[in-house]
Structure 1
Amino acid sequence: MDRFILLMLAGILAGFALLKVPLAGTFLKSLEPITTVIGLLAIVLFSVVLIFNGVMALLGK
């Protein structure tokens, strides 16, 4: 179970990394809105999974 939690935390960190990646001045500048959306979705999705697993653990299921 610990590996699963660490994997979810790594997904959240990857989402933050996508938000902070500097694309200005490169040919990838046009992809910046896409990386922002993917980063936000990763953060929200992995956070919801962690919260759900925490609630389920508290309830004993």
Structure 2
Amino acid sequence: MNLVALYLACIIAGFTLTRLPEIPFLSSLGSLFDIIGILTMLVFSLVLIYMGIKALIKK
């Protein structure tokens, strides 16, 4: 159960990376943060879906 909470926290962190406000000295890295945030959300969402399907099949 702890892994599920960790994966959800990672999804929220990815969402937060995509919603960072424009900071002048980090403005050149804005698109990089968007890409990393989107990839983080996708990867950990797919892992949660996989874990859910695996749990359903075991029953």
**TM-score of the superposition, structure 1-length normalised?**
0.92
Please tell me whether residue 37 in structure 1 is matched to residue 6 in structure 2: no
Q: Distance in 2 between matches of 1:11 and 1:27?
A: 25
Q: Distance in 1 between matches of 2:12 and 2:22?
A: 18
SS of structure 2 residue aligned to 1:28: helix
The gaps in structure 1 that reach 5 residues or longer are none
| Residue equivalent to 1:54 | 52
What is the root-mean-square deviation of aligned Cα atoms in Å? 1.2
1:4-46 alpha-carbon deviations (Å, 9 max, x no partner): 000000000000000001024x110000010000000000000
Q: Distance in 1 between matches of 2:53 and 2:12?
A: 22
The gaps in structure 2 that reach 5 residues or longer are none
Runs of 4+ in 1 over 3 A off after TM superposition: none
| Residue equivalent to 1:6 | 5
Aligned length: 59
**TM-score of the superposition, structure 2-length normalised?**
0.95
Larger helix proportion, structure 1 or 2?
Answer: 2
